[in-house]
Amino acid sequence: MIEKKKFGTFAGVFTPSILTILGVIMYMRLGWVVGNAGLFGAIIIIIIAHVIAVTTGLSVSSVATDKKIGAGGVYYVLSRSMGIPIGGSIGIALFVGTAFSIALYIIGFAESFNSYFGYGTAINDFRVTGTIALLSLTALALISTSVALKTQSIILAAIILSLISIFLGSSEFIPESVPYVTSDNSVPLEVVFAIFFPAVTGFTAGIAMSGDLKDPKKSIPMGTLMAIGVGLVVYIVLAIFISLKVDAEVLKTDYNILIKIALFAPAVVAGVWGATLSSALGGILGGPRILQAMSLDKVTPKFFELGSGENNEPVRALFLVFIIAEAGILIGELDVIARIVSMFYLTAYGFINLSFFLESWANPDFQPTFKVKRWIGFVGFVACFSVMFKLDLMAMIGALAVVTALYFGLQRKEVKLQSNDVWRSVWENIVNKGLKRIDAKVEVNTNWNPNIILFSGQSKHQKYLLELGKTVSGRTGVVTNFKLILNKENDKPLRRTEQVVRNEVFTDLGIFARQLKVENIYQGITTIASTFGFSGVEPNTVMMGWPKGLESSKEYAKMTETLLHLDYNLLYLDFDRRAKFGNYKTVDLWWRETDSKNAEMMLNIARFIIASKRWDSTSIRVLFVNNNNVESDLIRSKIKKLVEDLRVIVTIEIINNAVEQKRFYDLVKEQSETTDLTLIGIPNYKIEKQAEFVTKTNDLFETIGSTLLVKAANNFNVLDLDFVKHK
């Protein structure tokens, strides 16, 4: 097998990057930038653009030295750090931007070429010259990547000679005074920046060659930062030189001014043509490799995956690049193409910086050999989107819309790799820090945020208990369902991976689910209630079905006693298998004088119930049993005030029972027989009287529909329901 030819830092990264940086914008638009922005304005534009380039270069270099780098450059780095959906969406945007940038460089070449030889300078003339140039460069790329890269070395020498010729030249357009700031008849700085920015995007040309490098972890940081640094120096020095040598009005109108002031004009012409064509060639070499890498990951069609020759050259992908570049050439206007390219590159660079920031902040496994402060990535991210907002809000929205659509498309496609992505680490980090903050805060009668341990059992009616459990947990509550598998021997527990249950029902409801082997169901419930949870989000509520037929069970009584001792809120649902939850239209809350804590908990549950979609049209009644002949208006006003504090709209009904002294459950039977869901507080009683309580409650359930029994823990407030003292 013939070994694939690899390239070093200079030929593989620095050269393609610097040739793209010192390209069409430098030769044909830098003078225009200085003329419109003034010297100070031009330097500020150059520095802001390079802040983005430097932060992005540092970010991508750091990420590149942490993970194994394959073909695809920036796409590969993003997909392996932030996952395929983001990596793929940005990769596609970067691919299209790269392909369009080829048109930018070639149209720049056509402007100079046609002007130099006296050919037509209309858009159609540029289209013809550009198409011929594109065909020639594509043919060169098809012949050999190695030949193309060797050609770039020759072009680099031509650019150096052209710069020397410019700096040694003289000018007949020397200004009377240096234009330090923009003048009244100048183009707005936002437009000037948008035209200039593609000048600093060239460093991705080197990163795109990552699959062809001998040592990408060494070559990418060194070659990229060298190219950005050299470009920054050249642009600032050249901007100062131009401002001293040429009048601002001439700079605004003459795109070929560098040729006119050079010591040897043909050297500059060679530099212009070499720079523009080499930049286009860099895109022709790098663009197909991005597409080929995405196809290998099944992000783009498999058709583009196959290459040819010993180096697996991406020939099929090259033809798609050719088509997109030709579409850009048919646009024919350099400034229009430049603004399109700027937006897509700024979008990509913003997410590269975000990727690095999140990796360094959240991923404990992020150990790059090239270490960079994480705030650099954040600065780069903010700078990119701030500049996009300032340049063109609609174009920014359009670019983000395209990237967002691609992201959700790839999510639905469920493309996965055997690699980590940073989002898991981000969420783990956020959860970790959040738990520490919650745990450090002493809880003092705050609003109830349910964290429910649910024992739903296995039956065809299980989903109703799950549904109600999620409903009473509210929008931010947590529900964890436990399936207890009775195994008397229980010699080996389930493996950790087997304990996690995932199915469509739990996923749709947003309920966590676990299953465990237990020797005894009641002992299993006690053990879970005693040990499950962790600092900051300890469970506070136990919910299960109502235990019919367990009136005399000592084990059940012991379990209840333990749960009360642990100070859990207890919720027991007696589910009416015939009526179910009816039409989800009526809820009754039953209060008595002794329900001081249960009352507040029931109001909280009511608040969560009416906030759910299923129960959003529910009518809620508070039914208070007045056994002591207290004035009804007094009772009503006090309950109304309590209800207002918890923001629950209810109907208040006072049942005067001082004369008849009917039993509480008989009143419930009379009033709530047709109610869809009834909430009743569990009174305080001695555990030895549990059998009597269960028997009476079972009798009640024969008459009324689905009922939720509520026993509040001690952290609930004691609502003032003792009206005797107000007589």
Q: Note whether residue 134 is domain-resident.
A: yes
Phi, psi of 625 (to 5 degrees): -90, 115
Is 45's pLDDT higher than 90? yes
pLDDT classification of 726: cutoffs 50, 70, 90: very low
Q: Note whether residue 1 is domain-resident.
A: no
Which one has a higher pLDDT value, 149 or 543? 543
pLDDT classification of 51: cutoffs 50, 70, 90: very high
Which of 358-372, 415-429, 455-469 is the most confident on average? 455-469
Q: How far is Cα of residue 261 from the mean position of the Cα atoms in its chain?
A: 51
Q: Return the CATH number at 171.
A: 1.20.1740.10
Which one has a higher pLDDT value, 30 or 497? 30
Q: Note whether residue 431 is domain-resident.
A: no
Q: Note whether residue 443 is domain-resident.
A: no
Which one has a higher pLDDT value, 549 or 65? 65
Are 397 and 470 members of one domain? Answer: no
Which of 93-97, 191-195, 639-643 is the most confident on average? 191-195
**Largest Cα–Cα separation, the chain:** 116
Which one has a higher pLDDT value, 422 or 52? 52
Q: Return the CATH number at 720.
A: 3.40.50
Is 73's pLDDT higher than 80? no
Is 143's pLDDT higher than 80? no
Which of 60-69, 544-553, 610-619 is the most confident on average? 610-619
Lowest mean pLDDT among 63-72, 172-181, 236-245: 63-72
The CA-atom distances, in angstroms, between 364 and each of 81, 142, 368, 420, 431 are: 13, 43, 11, 12, 14
Residue finishing a domain among 423, 441, 469: 423
Order the strands of the 619-626 sheet from edge to edge: 512-518, 478-486, 451-455, 541-545, 569-574, 707-711, 677-681, 586-591, 619-626, 651-656
CA dihedral 419, 425, 428, 432 (to 10 degrees): 150
Are 192 and 273 members of one domain? Answer: yes
Residue 518, token pair as written in the block: 């237990």
Is 3's pLDDT higher than 70? no
Identify whether the C-beta of residue 451 lies closer than 8 Å to the C-beta of residue 539: yes
Q: How, if at all, do strands 677-681 and 541-545 pair?
A: unpaired
Which one has a higher pLDDT value, 407 or 473? 473
Q: pTM above 0.85?
A: no
Q: Note whether residue 674 is domain-resident.
A: yes
CA distance 56 to 352: 7
The residue type at 336: V
Are 683 and 602 members of one domain? Answer: yes
Lowest mean pLDDT among 546-555, 621-630, 692-701: 546-555
Residue finishing a domain among 371, 406, 423: 423
Question: Residue 521: what pLDDT?
Answer: 87
Q: How many domains does the chain have?
A: 2
Residue 563: which domain range? 451-726
Are 398 and 545 members of one domain? Answer: no
Q: What H or E segment, with its residue span, contains residue 51?
A: helix 30-64
Are 236 and 300 members of one domain? Answer: yes
Q: How many residues does the chain have?
A: 727
Are 497 and 365 members of one domain? Answer: no
Are 401 and 279 members of one domain? Answer: yes
**Which residues partner with 624 through β-bridges?**
591, 654
Question: Residue 586: what pLDDT?
Answer: 92
Are 503 and 404 members of one domain? Answer: no
Question: Residue 2: what pLDDT?
Answer: 47
Identify whether the C-beta of residue 344 lies closer than 8 Å to the C-beta of residue 371: no
pLDDT tens figures, 262-315:
999 999 999 988 888 878 887 887 788 888 888 888 888 888 887 776 667 788
Q: Note whether residue 435 is domain-resident.
A: no
Q: Note whether residue 549 is domain-resident.
A: yes
Are 113 and 13 members of one domain? Answer: yes
Can you tell me the mean pLDDT for 336-363? 82
CA distance 207 to 58: 12
* Dihedral sign of CA atoms 545, 550, 553, 558 in order: positive
Lowest mean pLDDT among 164-173, 420-429, 665-674, 696-705: 420-429
Question: Residue 140: what pLDDT?
Answer: 80
Are 205 and 331 members of one domain? Answer: yes
Listed in sequence order, the residues at least 6 apart from 383 whose beta carbon sits closer than 8 Å to its beta carbon are 48, 51, 52, 55
Residue 256, token pair as written in the block: 């070929």
Residue finishing a domain among 368, 403, 423: 423
Closest CA to 257 of 332, 179, 166: 166
CA distance 65 to 56: 14
pLDDT classification of 417: cutoffs 50, 70, 90: low
Whole-number average pLDDT of the chain = 82
Q: Note whether residue 261 is domain-resident.
A: yes
Are 82 and 156 members of one domain? Answer: yes
Are 609 and 719 members of one domain? Answer: yes
Question: Residue 227: what pLDDT?
Answer: 92
